Structure 1
Amino acid sequence: MRTELLKIIEGGLEKNRDKVQSYTQLLIDKLRAEGDEKFANRIKNILEKKIPHPVYLDEFMAKPVDQDSRLEMVDVSLANDTSEQIVLPDLTKIKLDHYIASLKHRSEFVKLGLDLPESLLLYGPPGCGKTSIAHYISQQTGLPLITAKLDAMVSSLLGSTAKNIRRIFEYAKERPCILFLDEFDAIAKSRDDEHEVGELKRVVNSLLQNIDNFNQNNILLAATNHEKLLDPAIWRRFSTVIEIPKPPVTEIEKLVQLFLSTIDCDFVQDEKKLFKVSALLEGLSPSDIKVLCYNAIKTTVIAEGKTVTYPQFIYQIYLFKHTEKDKTSLMRYLNENGVTQAEISKQTGISVRQVRKMLKDEEGKIYG
């Protein structure tokens, strides 16, 4: 709670009522969570007496806007608005849990005189859960998540972009929250890139200055799909850097079980079939796997079925991963992955006799 007390003092010295009010409410919430209801109520009474209409979450409504387009430059998600479930490789999850634990013990670090920056950079292929991780951190810490909207932040006038960056950091600095800069490479590109204009390099300089100032007492998250584009100086601004890779087979198994958990499924408890399915999905992102699983669920519901079957799911994998959609190629794929001729007939609407003949003809072409 030392962090909240420091923020309240800062807000008082700055005569920033919103800042005092927001961090006082956060202090009240933490006191109640620790069972000190009496002291929390005393502070709450003072807050209500001094501020006729106390608000906490409403303070996030006055969002910064781009002066030219008048578009809001941030989205605000409350910690209790989402219930994120994430599946990560063991080492990645350990790193993330360690970072979250450090956020929860910030007050103790301050007590020891260690006012450490708590900034996190996530990088990796698209669709691997970086945005979900940001919401998960918000959920675990109880802090609202402010997500910068880069389409509104990046102006056609680059001078305005630098001003927009400053407005977003100032907005987040006045409130107990987590600031999340998604698609970070759009504003943090290397200043050594000969193709970039000088004004954009000044935008990066402005970004670095704002991060340095913000990092002193606040929580910053950033995510990028293109880490090689980032300016070298950017990496030094983050106390923690975590790669979010595409999932290996063991994590894919967990993802399939998670995404199909809302419906009966005849293969998720069968180790051999689940492993086969997961091996076929290797190389896809969690986002792709989620879409594929939901497609299988929709197909089942539309057909008035109750269970997602193994043959049906293999069929969905084929549709998702293959550009050629001829029936012979489909039947060969199903057959090679353990789907019987009777089940192939059911999935394709072709008679068993015709399926047998087409597979035999195809085998003759391959081996003849």
Structure 2
Amino acid sequence: MSQNTIFDAEIVVPDAEISARAKTLVGFEARYARVHDQLRLLLNVDAVADWNRRQHRGELAIAGHIADQYPLVIFHGDVGTGKTAMAEAIANQLMSEAKTEDSMLFRLSNRVRGSGLVGEMGSLLSEAFARVIAAVGKNRRAVLIIDEGDSIAASRAQDHSHHEDKVAVNTLIQHIDDLRRFKGRVAVILCTNRLSVVDAALLRRAAVIDEFRRPTDEERLQLLNKDLAGLDLSAAQIADLVKVTGPLHGRLGWTFSDFRTRFYPAAVAKAFPDRPLTYRHLLETAQQMGGSRVMEDR
């Protein structure tokens, strides 16, 4: 496998495109505010000893435990709830605030699972971590995002767990343990649709575990107002779309992905290429669609 296929993205951060995309993410500010303090601490554990000296004359006993935390964050929730996009935006914002030049954001490809050869997945994981470590050098920082994390981090205790999968989990744990020597300059954000299948050893190591849910009425209202700007829809029309895309008559509410990858293209297709997009197109499309199915977390 070519080195270039280990990652879906290798981005120098802060990145203007990710910053612009963050503005389109409903709930970004609230979620960032909620996890900011813990993540800032996680990415700056090298400064804890100095903080302890300045603020507590070096006598705060728990400072040593803070420095030993594992640089692992877990985002979990249903498919399409924005975990990966939010992970990129949060990492990018943290790097921007830290004024860290030429830091790196890596997004691990699911192709790291390899082609099934014995030992391949573990070797590819090790190669990925080696490249992340090489990128940080002596002064830079890096965040590695692992999307669909349950595909390489599933519990080793499962009856159907294959030997190769167990080796991959062991390898992942070993590398996360090793990252502690970088004192916060390298962190991993693991995104998973099924928290319950993630290996218990990884769950114990996570400094932050944050859940992503399907958007609320207020969040769907914000999303529609943001995305449908320029159509001059009335507040009542937007409210109707909020209602029909929510939990209704036993149906599931929509995910963010349902709106942007399914609903909008289907509605535009009704008008394109000879007619303008109207509220009627949107309403009819929404009524015909339903929210995507839940990936059962068990």
The alignment's TM-score, normalised by the length of structure 2, stands at: 0.74
What is the correspondence of 1:1-368 to structure 2 with a 5 Å cutoff?
66=1, 72-74=5-7, 75-79=9-13, 80=15, 81-82=17-18, 83-85=20-22, 86-88=25-27, 92-102=31-41, 108-112=47-51, 114-115=66-67, 116-140=69-93, 141-142=95-96, 143-174=103-134, 175=136, 176-217=141-182, 218-261=186-229, 263-267=230-234, 270=235, 272-282=236-246, 283-291=253-261, 292-297=263-268, 299-300=270-271, 302-305=273-276, 308-321=277-290
In the aligned structure 2, how far is the partner of 1:257 from the partner of 1:155? 44
Q: CA deviation at 1:193?
A: 0.9
Note if contact 1:190-1:231 (Cα within 8 Å) is conserved in structure 2: yes
For structure 1, the residue ranges without an aligned partner over 5 or more in a row are 1-65, 323-368
Cα RMSD for the two superposed structures? 2.6
Q: Which has the larger radius of gyration?
A: 1
Please give the secondary structure, in 1, of the residue aligned with 2:75.
strand
Deviates more, 1:224-233 or 1:108-117: 108-117
In the aligned structure 2, how far is the partner of 1:92 from the partner of 1:138? 12
Q: CA deviation at 1:139?
A: 2.4
Structure 1 vs Structure 2: percent identity of aligned residues?
20
- What per-residue deviation string (whole Å, max 9, x for no partner) do you get for residues 303-354 of structure 1? 342xx433221112123339xxxxxxxxxxxxxxxxxxxxxxxxxxxxxxxx
Q: CA deviation at 1:172?
A: 0.8
In the aligned structure 2, how far is the partner of 1:280 from the partner of 1:309? 16
In the aligned structure 2, how far is the partner of 1:216 from the partner of 1:280? 51
Note if contact 2:112-2:125 (Cα within 8 Å) is conserved in structure 1: no
Please give the secondary structure, in 2, of the residue aligned with 1:236.
helix
Q: CA deviation at 1:296?
A: 3.2
- What per-residue deviation string (whole Å, max 9, x for no partner) do you get for residues 214-261 of structure 1? 244311111011222111111012100001111111101111122223
Note if contact 2:72-2:176 (Cα within 8 Å) is conserved in structure 1: no
Note if contact 2:121-2:164 (Cα within 8 Å) is conserved in structure 1: no
Note if contact 1:92-1:244 (Cα within 8 Å) is conserved in structure 2: no
In the aligned structure 2, how far is the partner of 1:231 from the partner of 1:91? 29
- What per-residue deviation string (whole Å, max 9, x for no partner) do you get for residues 37-77 of structure 1? xxxxxxxxxxxxxxxxxxxxxxxxxxxxx3xx666201212
In the aligned structure 1, how far is the partner of 2:70 from the partner of 2:173? 14
Q: CA deviation at 1:264?
A: 2.2
For structure 2, the residue ranges without an aligned partner over 5 or more in a row are 52-62, 97-102, 247-252, 292-298
Please give the secondary structure, in 1, of the residue aligned with 2:224.
helix
Q: CA deviation at 1:101?
A: 4.2
Note if contact 2:72-2:187 (Cα within 8 Å) is conserved in structure 1: yes
State how many pairs are aligned: 249
Counterpart of 1:76, as a letter, is: E
Cα distance change, pair 173–320 in 1 and its aligned pair in 2 (3 A): same
Cα distance change, pair 100–302 in 1 and its aligned pair in 2 (3 A): farther
Counterpart of 2:157, as a letter, is: D
Q: CA deviation at 1:294?
A: 4.3
Q: CA deviation at 1:289?
A: 1.1
Report the structure, 1 or 2, having the larger helix content.
1
Cα distance change, pair 257–295 in 1 and its aligned pair in 2 (3 A): farther
Cα distance change, pair 251–215 in 1 and its aligned pair in 2 (3 A): farther
Please give the secondary structure, in 2, of the residue aligned with 1:247.
coil
In the aligned structure 2, how far is the partner of 1:99 from the partner of 1:84? 23
In the aligned structure 1, how far is the partner of 2:237 from the partner of 2:288? 19
Q: CA deviation at 1:200?
A: 2.6
**Residue in 2 that maps onto 1:41:** none
Cα distance change, pair 301–177 in 1 and its aligned pair in 2 (3 A): same
Please give the secondary structure, in 1, of the residue aligned with 2:81.
coil
